[in-house]
């Protein structure tokens, strides 16, 4: 008996078939059954992938909440990390407040400074959070 690769045991090659001495009709039937099993495994994997994606979507939707901004609201804008500042980790993360001039359906916002000057480019809502004004009580 000659040494056989493990892959040849799983998927019979012509050399293995000659050693086992299968008839051609038997080999064709065995190969046909293997091909049918491959299609079944593919469909099973497809079903599992779809179920997994639905589970992940439900888990994400459970945690995610949509943020709606209206015109006239005060917001803070995230300072992007690519801006160089010598203060290092002590640089502020948010700048503002700004006024929302226009809110688009896709999550883009046109912002304006408090004095009315508008930004030239829209800002994504992911980089925005609401600004809550702090009131001081007089005593």
C-alpha span between 127 and 79 (Å, rounded): 8
The tokens for 54 are: 């639905």
**Are the C-beta atoms of residues 78 and 127 closer than 8 Å to each other?**
yes
The tokens for 133 are: 């004004």
Kindly report whether the global pTM for this prediction surpasses the value 0.75: no
Check residue 3 and give its pLDDT. Answer: 67
* Closest of 122, 80, 131 to residue 101, by C-alpha: 122
Furthest C-alpha separation in the chain: 101
Check residue 101 and give its pLDDT. Answer: 94
H helix or E strand, kind and range, residue 31: helix 24-63
**Are the C-beta atoms of residues 131 and 96 closer than 8 Å to each other?**
yes
C-alpha span between 122 and 85 (Å, rounded): 24
Check residue 35 and give its pLDDT. Answer: 86
pLDDT tens digits for 51-100? 999 999 999 999 887 788 889 999 999 988 776 777 778 888 899 899 99
**Are the C-beta atoms of residues 107 and 84 closer than 8 Å to each other?**
no
C-alpha span between 70 and 64 (Å, rounded): 20
For Cα atoms 112, 74, 106, give the angle at the middle one, nearest 5 degrees. 70
Check residue 97 and give its pLDDT. Answer: 93
């Amino acid at each position: 008996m000659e040494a056989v690769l493990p892959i040849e045991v799983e998927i019979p090659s012509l050399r293995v078939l000659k050693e086992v001495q299968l008839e051609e009709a038997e080999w064709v039937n065995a190969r046909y059954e293997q091909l049918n099993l491959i299609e079944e495994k593919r469909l099973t994997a497809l079903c599992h992938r779809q179920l997994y994606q639905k589970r992940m979507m439900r888990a994400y939707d459970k945690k995610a909440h949509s943020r709606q901004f209206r015109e006239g609201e005060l917001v803070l804008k995230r300072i992007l990390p690519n801006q160089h500042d010598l203060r290092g980790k002590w640089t502020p993360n948010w700048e503002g407040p700004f006024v929302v001039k226009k809110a688009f359906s896709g999550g883009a916002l046109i912002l304006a400074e408090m004095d009315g000057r508008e930004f030239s480019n829209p800002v994504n809502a992911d980089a925005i959070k609401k600004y809550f004004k702090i009131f001081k009580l007089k005593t």
